[in-house]
């Protein structure tokens, strides 16, 4: 119980509040066709996720560090498994493993594993020079490159971008020189050019990017979905049409609204004020994660929190941005809010890891 006493309640309450809102919004988006079944499953996902978070919170620092190689290996094996005959293709991406009664998205597990691996590998930063040694940079890039390549092979552009954001955040916290960042940025631009000029991206992903630049190019496909999402959000006004009362949401005009486009339910039914509340909670989770990392006296904890903050920040900005038509559709969920077991589990495990860093810092102080 001493570990629970050291838990950061602000982080817990914000994540729990977002999860509760996610259950309500999922219920509203699916009530007309499925009743409360999706909401019940969403609540079960949250319960399991919170249990995983508290289990991670109870681990001592030595056990957590010792488990890093196994976690990274499990993440890589999961990504390899999804590319084998065990994997299933859903919405154009071979990103899932179907199990009796549920499905697993290994890329979500890989996010947690990569955060731990980068924190462990980069924790030996030369604090005197305040910069990473070349060997540390090579090791970190290698650790990130493996899951990134396997995720792009699915292909899953959204998860690949999240993994990239995590790596950049971890390197930034660890003390990577600005000059090296510039070279990495140039390499990333080169990879992006190759992605658009070679078959690296699937055709549906190309269509999504084209629809972002030219919405009129796909009026019956992704262009239609984005247009309906923007219409729903715009019709919410200041305070929304009321939960379970949104005309677009209850009319079923937005396919799979309870997953990637759940923010549009908030915009239509809770209005600008409700949607802004979700944005505020997401940003609170990001800022609180950064604060806990900054206060940690352990390099492992600082880098881990930096990677997780980069993960949550990128996914929040990208998901909300694509709902507003400000970012291309990449299929990333809104942390703690979008329906999905794998995403919910990984987000709550990340909360447990941040809580573990916070608890370790509090124990040192006391």
Residue 128 above 60 pLDDT?
no
Residue 1 above 60 pLDDT?
no
Residue 355 above 60 pLDDT?
yes
Residue 364 above 70 pLDDT?
no
Give the DSSP H or E segment for 49: helix 37-57
281 vs 63: CA distance, rounded Å: 31
Choose the most confident range, by mean pLDDT, from 119-128, 194-203, 343-352.
343-352
Mean pLDDT of all residues in the chain?
87
Q: How many CA atoms lie within 13 A of 152 on its CB side?
A: 18
Q: Which residue has the higher pLDDT, 118 or 195?
A: 118
In what side-by-side order are the strands of the sheet with 102-104? 87-90, 93-99, 102-104
Q: What is the pLDDT of residues 211-240, one digit of tens each?
A: 666 666 666 666 778 888 999 999 999 999
Q: Which residue has the higher pLDDT, 189 or 26?
A: 26
Q: C-alpha angle with apex 149: 109 to 289, nearest 5 degrees?
A: 40
| Burial degree of 224 (CB within 10 A; 0-12, 13-18, 19+) | middle
8 vs 291: CA distance, rounded Å: 11
Which pLDDT does position 143 carry in this prediction? 95
Residue 2 above 50 pLDDT?
no
Residue 109 above 50 pLDDT?
yes
Residue 366 above 60 pLDDT?
no
- Look at strands 87-90 and 102-104 and give their pairing: unpaired
C-alpha dist (Å) from residue 160 to 3, 153, 166:
34, 10, 10
Task: For residue 341, report the phi and psi dihedrals to the nearest 5 degrees.
Answer: -65, -50
Token pair, residue 189, equals 């631009």
C-alpha dist (Å) from residue 209 to 103, 162, 230, 337:
27, 17, 17, 24
Looking at the DSSP bridge assignments, the partners of residue 89 are 94
Looking at the DSSP bridge assignments, the partners of residue 93 are 90
Backbone region of residue 130 per phi and psi (left: phi > 0; alpha: psi in -120 to 50; beta: other values) = left
Band (pLDDT 50/70/90 cuts) for residue 192 is: low
Which pLDDT does position 125 carry in this prediction? 58
Which pLDDT does position 126 carry in this prediction? 46
| Burial degree of 255 (CB within 10 A; 0-12, 13-18, 19+) | exposed
C-alpha dist (Å) from residue 221 to 29, 94, 213:
20, 20, 14
The length of the chain, given as a count of residues: 366
Cα radius of gyration (the chain): 20
- As a three-state string, the secondary structure of 160-209 is HHHHHHHHHHHHHHHCCCHHHHHHHHHHHHHHHHHHHHCCCCCHHHHHHH
Cβ proximity of 257 and 222 under 8 Å: no
Q: Tokens 């409700």 label which residue?
A: 274
Task: For residue 157, report the phi and psi dihedrals to the nearest 5 degrees.
Answer: -65, -40
Residue 144 above 90 pLDDT?
yes
Looking at the DSSP bridge assignments, the partners of residue 126 are 131
Q: What is the DSSP letter of 126?
A: B
């Amino acid at each position: 119980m001493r570990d629970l006493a050291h838990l950061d309640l602000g982080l817990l309450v914000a994540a729990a509040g977002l999860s509760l809102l996610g259950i309500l919004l999922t219920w509203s988006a699916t009530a007309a066709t499925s009743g409360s079944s999706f909401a019940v499953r969403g609540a079960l996902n949250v319960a399991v996720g919170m249990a995983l978070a508290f289990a991670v919170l109870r681990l001592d620092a030595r056990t957590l560090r010792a488990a890093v190689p196994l976690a990274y290996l499990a993440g890589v094996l999961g990504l390899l498994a999804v590319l084998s005959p065990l994997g299933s293709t859903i919405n154009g991406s071979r990103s899932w493993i179907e199990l009796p009664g549920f499905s697993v998205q290994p890329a979500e597990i890989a996010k947690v594993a990569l955060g731990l691996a980068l924190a462990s590998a980069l924790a030996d930063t030369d604090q005197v020079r305040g910069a990473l040694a070349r060997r540390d940079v090579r090791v970190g890039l290698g650790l990130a490159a493996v899951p990134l390549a396997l995720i792009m092979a699915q292909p899953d552009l959204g998860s690949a971008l999240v993994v990239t954001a995590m790596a950049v955040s971890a390197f930034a916290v660890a003390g990577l020189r600005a000059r090296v960042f510039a070279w990495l940025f140039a390499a990333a631009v080169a990879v992006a050019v190759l992605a658009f000029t070679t078959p690296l991206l699937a055709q549906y992903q190309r269509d999504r990017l084209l629809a972002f630049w030219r919405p009129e190019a796909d009026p019956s496909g992704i262009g239609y979905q984005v247009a309906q999402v923007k219409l729903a959000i715009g019709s919410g006004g200041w305070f929304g049409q009321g939960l379970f009362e949104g005309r677009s949401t209850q009319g079923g005009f937005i396919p799979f609204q309870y997953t990637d486009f759940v923010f549009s339910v908030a915009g239509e039914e809770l209005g600008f004020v409700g949607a802004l509340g979700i944005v505020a909670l997401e940003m609170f989770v990001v800022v609180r994660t950064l604060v806990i990392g900054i206060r940690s006296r352990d390099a492992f904890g600082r880098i881990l929190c930096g990677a997780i903050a980069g993960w949550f920040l990128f996914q929040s900005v990208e998901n909300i941005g694509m709902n507003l038509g400000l970012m291309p559709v990449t299929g990333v969920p809104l942390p703690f809010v979008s329906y999905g077991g794998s995403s919910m589990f990984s987000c709550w495990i990340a909360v447990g890891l941040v809580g573990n860093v916070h608890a370790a810092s509090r124990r040192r102080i006391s």
